């Protein structure tokens, strides 16, 4: 018997609050805004400061896996609020680390505690909103994770500049204020997240028999059978390669653009402080625009996957990026370069927008939180591997680092594309041949 309508929360409000939570958590992608100030505050090297971000992404993946497994046990409200609390606390501990000039405390606060909060907070709204919108799975999960993509834009172009100006560039005060803002925002958004009542279906929606939306018997099986299946491993690997390609590129898109711009300028002017500031501003502008496409990609590709299929969408995401990275080996015009950057970030976000509905279709609603959380470990691993590839190339092949990075990304995308042709959109059934 369907639950009474008067007892059911507004599912669009839940989607909005889930998106707001993701928006707050997505501010982690603005770490590059703080990279230089953090280095200066502690007299640390680039690598020392950057490890705070790498650790945050790594622990995001671990916490998302644990959160997915335990979401049915604790419920979305508790996990989302715990995640938000840890994320905000991470900023506050990082503020103390900057005051004390302690790199280990910075790693523990922003990297470990903040990263754990990211993972718990990220997986919860995606899985919850998917349950409320079985009729619009790709579109709405894409909308929710779009918030994460826009988080960097909000932080880098609004919140952080405002706080830096207000505090006279006092990074301790800035991180403290950000921590308070994150606590208020994430706790309020997390409180609104609840599961739909048993038997809930949107008005006028009748799920297709093969969709698995109301076929709990097909979800029989152990967690081990799902996350060690060949189908899961292929989905994980495809996701991993797509994320590596994006994170490898995100880490140095600004200096690459500046290098291209310098080629069009009089070498005698390159030491002018105004020229240096202008180049930095151009790089920051590209970061802002590409972050918008990162967010749009999550919504666009997620919605498209509802129409053309999940595997087909990943083939387009990986295949089109493969062509773009090969083209970048020959691009020398800054405007064209910027356009291609935005497309790559659109595909990077598209992987996050399409994967939740892919998992839901293949593994079913009951197993979705567990499997999706496990899939997100690919994000944590890619967050370590991708930047390390770039660092190795820059340290050992400085002049050819950009070209080698583009070639490496293209090779990884080709591997991912090949794997997609062994995948399909069919429902996984434990104990049977599924691929």
Mean pLDDT within 325-337: 88
**Out of 160-164, 278-282, 354-358, least confident range:** 278-282
* Spatial distance between the Cα atoms of 429 and 91, rounded to a whole number of angstroms: 43
Contacting residues for 83 by C-beta, under 8 A, at least 6 apart:
25, 63, 67, 116, 117, 118, 119, 120, 121, 122, 124, 186, 190
Decide if 428 contacts 226 (C-beta within 8 A). Answer: yes
Work out the number of other CB atoms within 10 angstroms of the CB of residue 288: 14
- The pLDDT mean for the chain works out to 85
Decide if 91 contacts 110 (C-beta within 8 A). Answer: yes
Decide if 430 contacts 225 (C-beta within 8 A). Answer: yes
Query: Could you tell me how far CA 240 lies from the centroid of its own chain?
Result: 12
* Spatial distance between the Cα atoms of 317 and 295, rounded to a whole number of angstroms: 15
Per-residue pLDDT reduced to its tens digit, 383-432: 888 877 877 787 788 778 778 888 999 999 999 999 999 999 898 888 66
Mean pLDDT within 10-32: 89
Residue 48: its pLDDT value, please? Answer: 83
Domain ranges of the chain: 14-195, 214-429
Residue 191: its pLDDT value, please? Answer: 94
> Between these two residues, 325 and 146, which has the higher pLDDT value?
325
Residue 118: its pLDDT value, please? Answer: 94
187, pLDDT greater than 70: yes
340, pLDDT greater than 70: yes
3, pLDDT greater than 60: no
Residue 188: its pLDDT value, please? Answer: 95
* H helical segments located in 270-400: 273-308, 310-328, 334-375, 377-396
Helix (H, G, I), strand (E, B) or coil at 212: coil
Residue in 258, 251, 241 with CA at minimum distance from that of residue 337: 258
Residue 144: its pLDDT value, please? Answer: 84
* Spatial distance between the Cα atoms of 236 and 245, rounded to a whole number of angstroms: 14
pLDDT band at 208 (very low <50, low <70, confident <90, very high): low
Winning range, highest mean pLDDT, from 59-68, 108-117, 249-258: 108-117
In this chain, the answer to whether the domains covering 14-195 and 214-429 adopt an identical fold is: yes
This prediction has a pTM of 0.78
Per-residue pLDDT reduced to its tens digit, 121-158: 988 898 888 888 887 777 787 788 788 878 888 887 78
pLDDT band at 302 (very low <50, low <70, confident <90, very high): confident
12, pLDDT greater than 80: yes
78, two tokens: 């508790």
Mean pLDDT within 347-370: 87
CATH says 214-429 is which class? mainly alpha
* Spatial distance between the Cα atoms of 232 and 393, rounded to a whole number of angstroms: 31
pLDDT band at 6 (very low <50, low <70, confident <90, very high): low
* Spatial distance between the Cα atoms of 69 and 223, rounded to a whole number of angstroms: 9
pLDDT band at 216 (very low <50, low <70, confident <90, very high): very low
173, two tokens: 């005060």
Residue 323: its pLDDT value, please? Answer: 96
Decide if 186 contacts 88 (C-beta within 8 A). Answer: yes
Mean pLDDT within 293-314: 89
Mean pLDDT within 54-65: 89
Residue 199: its pLDDT value, please? Answer: 73
Contacts within 8 Å (CB) and 24+ apart, 311-315: 311/358, 311/420, 311/423, 311/424, 311/425, 313/350, 313/354, 314/238, 314/242, 314/351, 314/354, 314/358, 314/416, 314/420, 314/423, 315/417, 315/420, 315/421
Helical axes 11-25 vs 137-154, angle rounded to 10° = 40
Percent of the chain past pLDDT 70, that is, above it, reads 91
CATH code that applies to domain 14-195: 1.20.1250.20
pLDDT band at 1 (very low <50, low <70, confident <90, very high): very low
Winning range, highest mean pLDDT, from 44-48, 65-69, 183-187, 384-388: 183-187
Per-residue pLDDT reduced to its tens digit, 251-293: 666 667 777 787 788 787 877 777 876 776 777 677 778 888 9
Residue 277: its pLDDT value, please? Answer: 67
* Spatial distance between the Cα atoms of 341 and 350, rounded to a whole number of angstroms: 14
CA dihedral 419, 421, 424, 430 (to 10 degrees): -50
Contacts within 8 Å (CB) and 24+ apart, 309-313: 309/425, 310/138, 310/354, 310/357, 310/358, 310/361, 310/362, 310/425, 311/358, 311/420, 311/423, 311/424, 311/425, 313/350, 313/354
* H helical segments located in 251-309: 253-263, 273-308
Torsion angles phi and psi, residue 431, rounded to 5: 85, 0
Please count the CA atoms within 13 angstroms of the CA of 28 that sit on its side-chain side.
Answer: 35
247, pLDDT greater than 90: no
Residue in 23, 19, 33, 397 with CA at minimum distance from that of residue 250: 33
């Amino acid at each position: 018997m369907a639950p009474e309508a008067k007892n059911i929360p507004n599912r669009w409000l839940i989607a909005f609050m889930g998106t707001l939570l993701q928006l707050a958590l997505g501010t982690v992608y603005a770490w590059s805004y703080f990279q230089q100030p953090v280095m200066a505050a502690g007299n640390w090297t680039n690598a020392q400061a950057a490890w705070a971000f790498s650790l945050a992404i790594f622990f995001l993946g671990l916490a998302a896996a644990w959160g997915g497994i335990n979401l049915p046990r604790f419920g979305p409200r508790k996990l989302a609020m715990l995640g938000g609390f840890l994320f905000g606390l991470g900023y506050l501990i990082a503020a103390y680390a900057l005051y004390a000039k302690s790199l280990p405390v910075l790693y523990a606060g922003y990297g470990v505690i903040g990263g754990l909060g990211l993972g718990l907070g990220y997986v919860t709204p995606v899985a919850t909103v998917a349950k409320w919108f079985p009729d619009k799975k790709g579109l709405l999960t894409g909308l929710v994770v779009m918030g994460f993509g826009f988080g960097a834009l909000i932080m880098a172009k609004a919140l952080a500049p405002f706080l830096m100006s207000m505090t006279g560039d006092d990074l301790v005060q800035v991180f403290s204020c950000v921590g308070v803002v994150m606590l208020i925002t994430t706790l309020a958004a997390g409180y609104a997240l609840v599961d739909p009542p048993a038997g809930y279906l949107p008005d006028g929606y009748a799920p297709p028999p093969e969709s698995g939306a109301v076929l709990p018997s097909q979800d029989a099986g152990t967690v081990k059978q799902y996350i060690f299946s060949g189908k899961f491993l292929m989905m994980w690997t495809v996701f991993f390669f797509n994320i590596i390609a994006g994170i490898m590129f995100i880490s140095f898109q600004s200096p690459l653009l500046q290098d291209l711009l310098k080629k069009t300028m009089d070498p005698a002017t390159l030491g002018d402080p105004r020229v240096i500031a202008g180049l930095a501003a151009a790089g920051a502008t590209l970061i802002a625009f590409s972050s918008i496409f990162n967010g749009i990609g999550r919504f666009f590709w997620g919605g498209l996957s509802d129409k053309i299929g999940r595997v087909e969408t990943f083939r387009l995401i990986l295949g089109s990026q493969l062509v773009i990275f090969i083209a970048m080996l020959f691009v020398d015009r800054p405007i064209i370069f910027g356009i291609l950057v935005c497309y790559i970030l659109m595909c990077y976000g598209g992987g996050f927008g399409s994967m939740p509905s892919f998992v839901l279709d293949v593994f079913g609603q009951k197993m979705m939180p567990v499997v999706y959380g496990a899939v997100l470990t690919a994000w944590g691993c890619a967050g370590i591997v991708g930047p390390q590839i770039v660092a190795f190339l820059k340290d050992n092949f400085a002049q050819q680092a950009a070209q080698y990075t583009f070639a490496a990304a293209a090779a990884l995308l080709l591997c991912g594309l090949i794997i997609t042709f062994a995948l399909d959109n069919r429902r996984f059934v434990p104990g049977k041949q599924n691929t």
